[in-house]
Amino acid sequence: MPTASAGTYLFGIVPADVEVDPDARGVGDPPGTVRLVRHGDIAAMVSEIAVDRPLGRPQDLLAHERLLDATVTEVPVLPVRFGAVLTGTDAVVDELLAPNHDELLAALRELDGKAQYVVKSRYVEAAVLGEILAEQPEAARLRAAIRGKSQDATRGERVRLGELITQGIEAKRQVDVRRVVAVCDPYSVSMDVREPAHELDAANLAVLAKTADEQQLVRALDDLAQEWDGRVKIRLLGPLAPYDFVTDLRPEG
């Protein structure tokens, strides 16, 4: 069992023929310098880290993602899940790079020229409530029933109304997710539809796309944002490292 006070934090896998910006900083406190551990045609992006204190401060998460996202704009990268620490450089080579060299290299080649984009969209509350009230007479009736009355006196009606609204949003979400998927599809290599993270979330999805297609993807989403102006707000994150798409690339075990 590891008793060492230092470990090697692993960010991701990149092709061996790249350089790391000497100013790049890792995770931990103080953050270590980021360097490459090369083996054959691949390399692990790592930094030294003290293991006697837990990771997970906001700046650790930010540092992890920023380094990987900055990398993907230049070279393909396989992001490793946040928090992976190995016992040292030897372990990186002997236990990770050497035994998995060929499949990691194949995955890097497959990801060359591609990046992840995350589409997040959220309903504008007043607009979506208005839609549901207009579509569902029962909701409109309940609204009238609670109007001007105390919460306690109308608790049953309120719960029922809220339930109808939740179901109404869920139904809209199903339709709208399909729409966002259809809009992104022509520019996507792969897609991962994510679960909603918030009760007003519309569609959230991760898209793996060629960076050369980025402008077209943005334009297509701009058109949708225009169509949904005032109803759904759309955000686009990226280019990001392909966080959602790497677990597929390696067989289990």
Chain residues 40-69 in contact with other proteins, contact rule CB under 8 A: 51, 53-59, 61-62, 64-66, 69
Q: Which of 163, 171, 182, 186 binds other proteins (CB under 8 A)?
A: 163
Q: How far apart are the first and last CA of the chain?
A: 21
Q: Which of 10, 24, 46, 108 binds other proteins (CB under 8 A)?
A: 10
Quick one: which of 8, 72, 76 has its CA closest to 41?
76
Q: How far is the CB of 92 from other proteins (least distance, A)?
A: 8
196 binds other proteins (CB under 8 A): yes
Backbone angles phi, psi at 20, to 5 degrees: -105, 135
Binding mask 63-102 for other proteins (x = CB under 8 A): -xxx--x--------xxxxxxxxxx---x---xx------
CA distances 222 to 181, 187, 225, Å, are: 14, 14, 5
18 binds other proteins (CB under 8 A): no
Q: How far is the CB of 163 from other proteins (least distance, A)?
A: 5
CA distance 246 to 240: 13
Contact window for other proteins (CB under 8 A) among 14-22, 30-38, 174-182, 218-226: 218-226
CB count within 10 Å of CB 89 equals 14
Token match 């997710």: residue? 177
142 in helix, strand or coil? helix
Contact window for other proteins (CB under 8 A) among 17-25, 32-40, 174-182, 223-231: 223-231
The residues near 15 (Cβ < 8 Å, ≥ 6 apart) are 41, 42, 43, 75, 76, 105, 108
158 binds other proteins (CB under 8 A): yes
Contact window for other proteins (CB under 8 A) among 14-22, 35-43, 174-182, 222-230: 222-230
Is 68 in contact with 12 (CB distance < 8 Å)?
yes
Cα angle: 31, vertex 35, 41; to 5 degrees: 150
Q: Which of 37, 39, 45, 201 binds other proteins (CB under 8 A)?
A: 201
Using CB under 8 A, count the residues that bind other proteins: 93
Contact window for other proteins (CB under 8 A) among 18-26, 33-41, 174-182, 236-244: 236-244
159 binds other proteins (CB under 8 A): yes
110 binds other proteins (CB under 8 A): no
Residues present in the chain in total = 253
